[in-house]
Structure 1
Amino acid sequence: MTTRWLSPEEQRAWRAYVAGYLLLEDAIDRQLQQEAGLPHLYYSILANLSETPERRLRMTELAEQLKITRSRLTYAVTRLEKDGLLRREECRWDKRGTVAALTDEGMAALENLAPGHVETVRSALFDRLTPEQVGQLEEIFTQVVLGFQDGDEAAPQELPWRRRSSPCSGT
């Protein structure tokens, strides 16, 4: 098999993506850590739950929405549950599953954090782009996500939320 090396243009684009992603994630994490002692992932869990009916979602569906492994989600949910920001419940329609439910305290924390978070995202990313670039950004990363989900780059079982990290993950 011949290695398909990146062209100079692709290499520059790749390095720009990596640098931009790392700087954005750092800015977002710093803001959330300073305001609430929460990493970006934990905020994302709360935000996703806030947008669902009854502020509840099955853990496997939440892992898929967040594009993370179920074990990583379980670890984060344990911390958020300890802080009273969410709770786990039995899945009413499938006794094998678990549901993450946003508590009133979690919703209040999210509402308190959202203005600072959105300002960080806006100033670190969107204020630097033209409306056309915002559309291109969405188009590019939608295509990347679809490529993985359609199996072009990874077998479906290799997607993070489908991996089995242990035989008894309970999620």
Structure 2
Amino acid sequence: MNTAPVPDEEPQWLNDEEQRVWRSYVHATTLLEDHLDRQLQRDVGMPHVYYGLLVALADAPRRRLRMTELAMKAKITRSRLSHAIARLERSDWVRREDCLDDKRGQFAVLTDQGLQTLRGAAPGHVRAVRNAVFDRLTPEQQKSLGEIMQIVAEGLQPNEAGADLPWLR
């Protein structure tokens, strides 16, 4: 559904209830991201975004993705990804490989040490997610949250309709 604003048209402002819901969502997601980031920094010394990069690489065939594809999956700029990969390389969790097909392209590859680090970080991360989200919701609320987030994600990715969100299927 395309709801792009028409120029010179007054926006449809949020009513009081929509404003309450929106602000609750923004506040909760900010707190959740901070909670997960602090947990991962404390337990394994990496920010949440880096954990997401390691997960994406672990899920990829041969634990490798082109840098451009990884940036798209992580929804970060190539510059920010390059900085993150450099830091992950210093920890020996990721290495870069040149693309043989395209001399300008590079792959990010999850190393064995990176996979081991990810496996070590996962239990604490899952506990933090469970404690912050799932333990607070009834099964019905969990189902509703999943359905709502799938609708939002599909609306923001109309050409791929959740293609990079396999856990929603």
Matched, 1:29 2:37: yes
C-alpha distance 115-95 of structure 1, shift in aligned 2 (>3 A)? same
Matched residues in 1 for 2:82 and 2:109: separation?
13
Matched residues in 2 for 1:60 and 1:135: separation?
33
Q: Residue type matched to 1:111 in 2? A: R
Matched residues in 1 for 2:28 and 2:139: separation?
18
> Aligned-pair distance for 1:81?
0.9
Q: Residue type matched to 1:60 in 2? A: T
Percent sequence identity is 55
1:84 maps to which residue? Answer: 92
Q: Residue type matched to 2:48 in 1? A: H
Q: Residue type matched to 1:123 in 2? A: N
1:131-159: per-residue Cα shift (whole Å, max 9, x none)? 222222222222222222227xxxxxxxx
1:121 maps to which residue? Answer: 129
CA RMSD, 1 decimal: 1.4
1:135 maps to which residue? Answer: 143
Comparing 142-151 with 71-80, greater Cα deviation is found at 142-151
Matched, 1:11 2:22: no
Q: Residue type matched to 2:139 in 1? A: P
Q: Residue type matched to 1:96 in 2? A: R
Comparing 118-127 with 51-60, greater Cα deviation is found at 51-60
2:152 maps to which residue? Answer: 144
> Aligned-pair distance for 1:128?
0.9
1:59-70 matches, within 5 Å, as 59-70=67-78
Matched residues in 2 for 1:141 and 1:60: separation?
25
TM-score (norm 1): 0.82
Q: Number of residue pairs matched?
A: 151
Could you list the runs of 5+ residues in structure 2 that have no partner in the other structure? 1-8, 160-169
The secondary structure found in structure 1 opposite 2:114 is helix
Matched residues in 1 for 2:92 and 2:26: separation?
35
1:16-74: per-residue Cα shift (whole Å, max 9, x none)? 10111011111111111111211000111111111111110111211222222222211
> Aligned-pair distance for 1:123?
0.5
